[in-house]
Amino acid sequence: MAIDLQQIGKRFRFYTHLKEIEMDELVSLTGSDEQTLSNIISGQNYLLDDLVGIVKHFTDLNSQWLIYGEGSMFKPMDEDGNCHDNPNKNCLKKDRSAYLKQMQNMLVELDAAEVAKGHSPDVDALKAKLEEYKATL
């Protein structure tokens, strides 16, 4: 299966938007420079080693989903709905209602891009998750 840098960038951008992580926080969290992060997010020329070095800082992010678009965006949570790596916080911030519409639009964009590449879209689970979050607000 070929790796599509633009698709990885779109998925990483989707993840960072959903998690409400701005560029300055990305730089701080990963120790990477802004240019490398910008290249990844925009799907421009970058090394997969750079991507791996960055992704290891996001323990709730499913790397299989990020790279290949397969499976769920997030690794499984525990039975209380907490991140597996930090039992004291939820995987998503509580004040996420303003981002739901934006995330739905990005899902449509990701879905269209996957279909255009001939991949079977797996965004139904993400759409259901957004609806679930919307219902809890």
Predicted pLDDT of residue 66: 92
Residue 22 has pLDDT above 90, yes or no: yes
Domain region containing 9:
5-136
The sign of the torsion formed by the CA atoms of 33, 103, 116, 67 equals positive
pTM of the model as a whole: 0.60
Alpha-carbon gap, residue 94 to 115, rounded angstroms: 32
Q: Which residue has the higher pLDDT, 49 or 91?
A: 49
Q: Which residue has the higher pLDDT, 20 or 101?
A: 20
Q: Which residues, at least 6 apart from 104, have a Cβ–Cβ distance to it below 8 Å?
A: 127, 130
Helices (H), the chain: 5-18, 23-30, 34-42, 48-55, 63-68, 100-116, 124-136
Predicted pLDDT of residue 125: 67
Alpha-carbon gap, residue 69 to 14, rounded angstroms: 12
Residue 62 has pLDDT above 70, yes or no: yes
Task: Give residue 80's Cα distance to chain centre.
Answer: 22
Alpha-carbon gap, residue 56 to 36, rounded angstroms: 15
Here the tokens at position 34 are: 């802004």
State how many domains the chain has. Answer: 1
The sign of the torsion formed by the CA atoms of 123, 32, 78, 90 equals negative
Tokens 């219902």: give the residue.
135
Q: What 3-state class would DSSP assign to 83? A: strand
